[in-house]
Structure 1
Amino acid sequence: MTDTSEIFTEQLLGFSVPSRDARGRVVRLDRSLDDILSAHDYPAPVKHLLAEALVLTALMGGLLKEEHAQLTMQAQTEGGPIRLMVCDYRSGQMRGYADFDDQQLGSLGTNPSLSALFGKGYLAITFETGQGRRYQGIVPLEGASLAEACEQYFFQSEQIPTLLKVGILAQGSSCIAGGLLLQHLPQGEEGRERLHVRLDHPDWEHVAVMAGSLSHQELVDPGLSMEAIVWRLFHEEDEVRVEPGACLSKGCRCDVAHYNSVLSRFPEDERNAMRNANGEIVVDCAFCSKEFVIDL
């Protein structure tokens, strides 16, 4: 197996095609992805789903410009084996977690569809700016992938034509995943409201066809850099601008000081009710599968 430790750079790459009013992000995850997925013994379908969610979280989170801004993606489900899935991104740090019914999942086979995994479900995507503003959109979990559901979010909630592609490659216990986000912004990048969305705009049709030719294999190919992906798609354009984005890593925000601060706000009688037989308050972080003993 090829040693990819020096090939992969855990960093977003931003790009724009000015003549087509298009912008995008490319990402490839390996070690940070393994760090997040290894916190739990996820079955293959859940690992694949969560890997896709983390790639999408990184791509969408990379659109945020303000310091300490955060993107959260949460699946709200009913009837499927995935009971909860949540990922978030803040300043390049990502985390993710999925809760599932193992017995129900086992009855679906090796390659269950999105609807089989979630049943009746909705995807909530929340952007929180560094200045306290909050924007949320909720779309049905429909289509063949999470990427399609996120495309619908941008179309319905943000009024922005968007294309998302994700590729995932499992290598034994490790996982490599890559993704591309492309958007059409004829009114410029500033401002959130787009009142005249045109999916049939000639410039959008052109760049969408170009980006649509990108294969899943190219997204995870260790011999193909992210810059090479952008060049391969848009080298015939008059100008393509690229800009390195945030460096990416697993970033769970759990620590004793944080939990001390949260629990100190509870009344004493409620804190006493939380104590175990040894008189300790033990907090279990679902994201990183660690337990913290809190001494107030």
Structure 2
Amino acid sequence: MDIQRETFADKLLGFTLPARGARARAVRLDSSIDEILSTHDYPAPVTHLLSEALVLAALMGGLLKDDGEDAQLTLQAQTQAGVVSLLVCDYRGGKLRGYADFDGPRLANLGANPSLAALFGEGFLAITFETEGGQRYQGIVPLEGDTLAEACESYFSQSEQIPTMIRVASRSCGDDRVAAGLLIQHLADGEEGRERLHVRLDHPDWEHVLAMAGTTSHDELLDPALSLEAIAWRLFHEEEEIRVQPGPVISRGCRCSADYYVSVIARFSATERDEMRGDDGVIAVDCAFCAKTFALEI
């Protein structure tokens, strides 16, 4: 294995197990997640939650076949009465961004390690795939289970009928953060791209892959000295073949700009724009993702 070509951080890795009809995506976020999370002063429980969501967005976004400028994966968790009212992440062509809105005083009353149910209450998770050709697919599942990863597994099982296992790990040490994950799926009638037929959770190939992938530890996923290729090799070195597919570099990708907001505001009437102005005559627009404020003179 050529260590110069191995994948360690801030880059997606895809691989398939042709003999087992399985595909996988793996990612470790380092500087990219630091850059995304540092734009807001999130408390520890929200940092942990958003870290998991960003890893999930990268893993699922890596499944997009049309990885062009318009192909996008959006993950949105929302509730009416939860402590976290909104969590949204999206992935487009290696560009990743995320944001969470929450009630600070209520969050402080939950303690250091609140459960998913305590954070969201009765919420839902919406997962939207948009292809380069403009097609849009969305599935919505309840926010049930202990983690967002479990809710995503339910999405694939219910909406896509694809047996899926997802593992996510994250760690914070002061301002240094790292988060990583592994997603593996069974495409029951062959490798990636073939029609999915006779998908069964008890398929012997899937049971084998699930047993092997389930041995992945959080320490392995987060180990900066252990490449993602090495993790795949540790898990599946006894397989006939592992086909590795290097993915894109991951970076923070907020798409806000003054020109973009001017084009949006210009769609309103002159009267409506006047109502948006502050005392200084300027229209101020905040970007929730990157915490920037744009002063627009239009």
CA distance in 1, matches of 2:149, 2:234: 22
TM-score calculated relative to the size of structure 1: 0.95
The one-character-per-residue Cα deviations of 1:65-117 (angstroms, maximum 9, x if unpaired) are 21120000001113321011000000000000000001100111100100001
Report the equivalent of 1:254.
256
**SS in structure 2 at match of 1:23:** strand
Contact 1:81 1:100 survives alignment (8 Å): yes
Q: Counterpart amino acid of 1:187?
A: D
Contact 2:188 2:196 survives alignment (8 Å): no
1:70-85 matched pairs, under 5 angstroms? 70-85=72-87
Report the equivalent of 1:3.
none
Contact 1:77 1:120 survives alignment (8 Å): yes
**SS in structure 2 at match of 1:79:** coil
- Which residue among 135, 138, 141 is the counterpart of 1:136? 138
Shift of 1:196: 3.5
The one-character-per-residue Cα deviations of 1:108-165 (angstroms, maximum 9, x if unpaired) are 1100100001011000000011111100000010001000000000111111111000
1:1-296 matched pairs, under 5 angstroms? 8-66=8-66, 67-68=68-69, 69-188=71-190, 189-190=192-193, 194=196, 196-296=198-298
Structure 1 pair 170–269 and aligned structure 2 pair: CA distance change class (3 A)? same
Contact 1:158 1:194 survives alignment (8 Å): no
Q: Counterpart amino acid of 1:38?
A: S
**SS in structure 1 at match of 2:19:** helix
Shift of 1:265: 1.2
Structure 2 gap segments, 5+ residues each? 1-6
Structure 1 pair 8–194 and aligned structure 2 pair: CA distance change class (3 A)? closer
Report the equivalent of 1:4.
none
Q: Counterpart amino acid of 1:63?
A: L
- Which range is displaced more, 168-177 or 22-31? 168-177
Shift of 1:271: 1.1
Q: Counterpart amino acid of 1:36?
A: I
CA distance in 2, matches of 1:21, 1:110: 41
CA distance in 2, matches of 1:230, 1:139: 30
Contact 2:287 2:293 survives alignment (8 Å): yes
Question: What percentage of aligned pairs have identical amino acids?
Answer: 64
Structure 1 gap segments, 5+ residues each? 1-6
CA distance in 2, matches of 1:158, 1:30: 30
Q: Please give the root-mean-square deviation of Cα atoms over the aligned residues, in Å.
A: 1.3
CA distance in 1, matches of 2:186, 2:273: 51
CA distance in 1, matches of 2:185, 2:251: 25
Q: Counterpart amino acid of 2:262?
A: N
Report the equivalent of 2:3.
none
Contact 1:12 1:25 survives alignment (8 Å): yes
- Which range is displaced more, 115-124 or 78-87? 78-87
- Which range is displaced more, 7-16 or 264-273? 7-16
Contact 1:159 1:195 survives alignment (8 Å): no
The one-character-per-residue Cα deviations of 1:214-245 (angstroms, maximum 9, x if unpaired) are 01111001121111000000000010011110
CA distance in 2, matches of 1:28, 1:257: 33
